[in-house]
Amino acid sequence: MNDKVDFLEKQINSDFSNELSKRFLQYALSTITSRSLPDVRDGLKPVHRRLLYAMNLLSLQPNKSFKKSARVVGDVMGKYHPHGDAAIYDAMVRMAQEFSMNFTLVEGQGNFGNIDGDNAAAMRYTEARMSEVANLMLDGINENAVDFRDTYDGTGKEPVLLPAGFPNLIVNGAQGIAVGMACSIPPHNLNEVCDAALYLIDNRDKNHNELYNIINGPDFPTGGTVIESKDNIIDTYKNGRGSFRLRANWILEKKSSGTWHICINEIPYQVQKSRIIEKIADLILNKKLIMVSDVRDESSEEIRIIIEPKSRNVSPEDIMDTLYQVTDLEIRVQLNLNVLDSDGSPKIMPLNEAIISWIDHRREILIRRSRNSFNKTINRLEILDSFLIVYLNLDEVISIIREEEDPKKKLIMRFKLSENQAVAILDMKLRNLRKLEEQQINQEKVELQNKKSQLEKLLKEKTLQWKKIKNEILNIKKIFKNELNRKTNIENKNIEYSNDISLKIEKEPVTVIVSKKGWIKSLKGHSADLDSIKFKEGDELGLYLFLSSLDDLLLFVENGRFYNIPVYKLPTGRGFGEPLSLVFDDIADEKILFLSDSKNEKLLLVSNDGRGFIVNSHEVISKRRTGKQIMNLKGSNKAISCSPINGDMLAIVGENRKLLIFDVNEIPVLSKGQGVILQRYKDGKCSDVKIISSNEGLFWKMGKDRTRHEKVITTWLGKRGGAGKMPPRGFPKPPKFN
């Protein structure tokens, strides 16, 4: 009964949505701060930090032997990282991949994956140890350089961050996706980052434009070429957000008889080689890469993707320009310098602030290590003083230790020692007594006193601290002097792609078919047998047009919009095609009035309220799926006609059967609008229009195979905006010209 009362007392009445929001926020914060975003100071996420710390405790230094990866993963999972072993091993694998990092943190032995995208072997088959860089990252970990906190189960301690004697964040980069935010930092050149750090030590409060002459851009382990204007690179670094255009590198290899092929020898960062080859092969198979006859992989330790041209008359630059557009041989690499600052809060930093955060961290580490060394030096000097007392009073000290019940207290009183000194004397081994020589003790004491004064000076003077940090940075450059050369080229220019579709698509005749119910497709060849084309039940042929695969199709719809699409993008095959509503937006249930090949011509647009105007076809083209609104329509009005200007007169007839003919030159040329009144109606609306020639007269259909010709048209001639007169005898009902 009491248990039930206690349970009821602990219940809290709360709104479900509030509790859900609260818990989701807790999850989001945990993901951001404890999983996905790196710390700006050491450039590591918790899983990477824990891996390196566990390897250090397992004595997996670069000069020691390898241990099974499973042993490392097991220690990390059991002691520090309460997540699955697969996630821990995946993080460890990436730290060992030379194509993922400029300087690996883990030295792997066995299959740790490859640039083709193949997975690493299972952790029981691979071995690992720390790299030289990891050693630098942990240097000073046991000298009170960083704070420690309880592990997740409270049974041990782990570092909050590492001393980071290497600029890991900027040099190796980082990737992470949190809740509502992400981090993407590409790798950079070590030599440039070190020079930038040295520059910022002396110029942290000045204008940092010079910094961007030191750091030219990202430097990827897989090479390639960054093509971006200098201004764009600087803006990206100053804002902490932006992107870089990264291309594969290639060379031209000449063969006998004047033939040649292209060899791609460097591919973009984190792009799988096998997928590039599959994509190119697929484009060749589907005839979307007509300049290339074959692609093959000749890679061994070095990348060699061979592109064979169809003809030696083709320009290799044109082939590569096309491949850059349609494959991952060119990508955009994002920079989103979203990291945890020194307070543990997520922040998007400019590049200079991120580097300053690292050198400030190094200064903090230097101060903490120096203070720790200073305290140890003082303690050792105190112990040496006690050793001198033993040396000078050896027999008396031995007598006190042998005869007194409380020798520590007696020693303190007799020789005025501190408790630490007394303990040191009592803890001394007998065999060390023979080594006690006054000269050696005094020599060590002098050395320690010199060290103490140097440390005191270092802790007091900021300039000495920065000088020490500079020397550490220069030492990094010295250690890795053979790996300072840039792998990625930088070209500060803007790229304009060739829009020549003929380089990508084979030119062939095509028939474009639009059904009355708004289905569209293209058929190979200029089909003369249109009656054999199949449509859905209840549907039939609406409009058709003979074009080529390289043309653009222009459509005018009764909603007053023009739509444009390359012919090669239209659905093909023997099926019914696709509804226009899937190809374009805002076109559902609208009637298609006109098809054209988008050539430069003048078009007459007419609405059912008798208004119209002329527009140039090149002004109506739009690549947007929503098309381009050219004719503005009021209320329920619709466009009824779009006609090329292939004559000098316009014939217009209303639903009231009044016919008016006037000079086309009376119609204005506009870019868009409602148009002007072409014919006025007392009742009804406009029924049809037709462009005619004054020399040939007026034609109209009388039936399926009969045509009526009225050569003399003076009876219906008038001015634009007139009412018109009744048509000649035999004119169709309802009034239509076709």
What residues are labeled active site?
A: 125
Q: Quick one: 461 exposed, middle or buried, by C-beta within 10 A (0-12, 13-18, 19+)?
A: exposed
φ, ψ dihedrals at 652, nearest 5°:
-130, 135
Helix/strand number for the chain, H first, E second = 19, 34
Nearest partner of 686 among 658, 728, 719, judged by Cα: 658
Find out whether the peptide bond into 579 is cis, omega within 30 degrees of 0: no
Q: How do 489-491 and 225-227 pair as beta strands?
A: parallel
Q: What six digits make up the tokens of 38?
A: 């790196």
513 phi/psi in degrees, rounded to 5: -120, 130
Rounded to the nearest 10°, the torsion over CA 466, 471, 477, 479 is -140
Q: Which of 571, 594, 608, 578 is nearest to 688 (CA)?
A: 608
Give the residues across from 69 on adjacent strands.
none
The 3-state secondary structure of 198-215, one letter per residue: HHHHHHCCCCCCCHHHHC
Q: What does the block give as tokens for 309? A: 């041209």
Q: What is the token pair recorded at 208?
A: 């940092």
Helix, strand, coil shares, percent, the chain, to 5: 35, 25, 40
d(CA 418, CA 409): 10
CA 638/CA 71 separation, integer angstroms: 75
What is the SS3 string spanning 302-316? CCCEEEEECCCCCCH
Closest CA to 124 of 85, 77, 82, 84: 85
At what angle are helices 407-415 and 419-427 packed, to 10 degrees? 120
Total count of residues recorded for the chain: 738
